[in-house]
Amino acid sequence: MDLFYDRQNSLGLKTDQTILVIGAGGIGFHVTKMLIMSGIQELHLFDFDTIETHNLNRLDVSVSSIGKNKVDVLEEISMSLRPDCKFNGYPFEFQDYMLPDKKFDWLIDCTDKLDAQRYNQSIANKKNIRYVKAGYNGFSISINNRVASWGDAPDGYTIIPSFIAPAVIVSGLVVTKVLKPEMTEKEISTNVLNMLH
């Protein structure tokens, strides 16, 4: 497996971490895959939701995945990509009592409900886990070290304009933030279209 990571060894990525990802939609799905492909040693993922037809414009899964739980699909993908990763999938809503008694380095919040985000951040604070909230709406993206530090965050699911590019851009930036120690405090809130000059 070391050959997988030959070309990244000189980049100073911190892969000896245990990561908790909450939400496996557009961002969480790609964050999980990118972390596993980067060689993260242990990952825990929570999401009670299933894959629906409208998810297929941003999740690279087959139509046969429709109706399956997102965590179950990601576990199968992850194990086929990196069978050496310790992947722990929980196909239900995150509650702190479900967490194993271990030290987590990061809680990556990819949820879309304000109450859930506040709860997730409170658990991260209580358990001394670094917290990052990732989101997007159309072409607007954000990565923050706390809840609702930009824009509106209504409680309850809202349908937003979305396609794969903003989700993958946010995911890549989150993975960089988590794996590069000098990036842990960095945040961004911008429109993807403003990033291109």
Lowest mean pLDDT among 12-21, 60-69, 149-158, 182-191: 149-158
In a domain, 4, yes or no: no
Residue 181 belongs to some domain of the structure: yes
130-137 β-sheet, strand order: 86-90, 42-46, 18-22, 106-109, 130-137, 140-144, 188-191
Q: Regarding predicted confidence, which is higher, 151 or 86?
A: 86
Whether residue 82 is predicted with pLDDT greater than 90 in this model: the reply is yes
pLDDT band at 160 (very low <50, low <70, confident <90, very high): confident
Domain housing 153? 15-195
Query: What percent of the chain has pLDDT above 90?
Result: 84
Question: Which one is predicted more confidently, 152 or 111?
Answer: 111
C-alpha pair distances (Å), 1 with each of 8, 83, 90, 193: 13, 10, 26, 38
Tell me the whole-structure pTM to 2 decimals.
0.94
- Helices 164-179 and 26-37: crossing angle in degrees, nearest 10, is 40
Residue 108 placed within a domain? yes
92: how many CB neighbours lie within 10 A of its CB?
Answer: 12
For residue range 95-149, list pLDDT tens digits in order: 999 998 999 999 999 998 889 999 999 999 999 999 999 999 999 999 999 996 5
pLDDT at 159 over 80: no
Judge whether 1 lies within some domain: no
Joined together, the tokens standing for residue 134 give 């990732």
Q: Is residue 9 part of a domain?
A: no
Q: Spell out the long-range contacts of 31-35 with Cβ–Cβ below 8 A and sequence spacing 24 or more.
A: 31/108, 31/110, 31/134, 31/171, 31/174, 31/175, 32/74, 32/78, 33/74, 33/77, 33/78, 33/81, 34/171, 34/172, 34/175, 35/175, 35/178, 35/179
CB 85 within 8 A of CB 44: no
For residues 141-150, one letter each, b for 16 or more C-beta atoms within 10 angstroms of the residue's C-beta and e for the rest, the string is bbbbeebbee
Domain count, the chain: 1
Residue 150: its pLDDT value, please?
A: 53
Would you state the structure tokens that stand for residue 39, as one six-digit string? 């060689």
Judge whether 29 lies within some domain.
yes
Closest by CA position to 57, among listed 184, 187, 166, 172:
166
User: Does any domain span residue 159?
Assistant: yes
Within a domain: residue 189? yes
Instruction: Check whether 157 has a pLDDT greater than 70.
Output: no
Give the CATH number for residue 33.
3.40.50.720
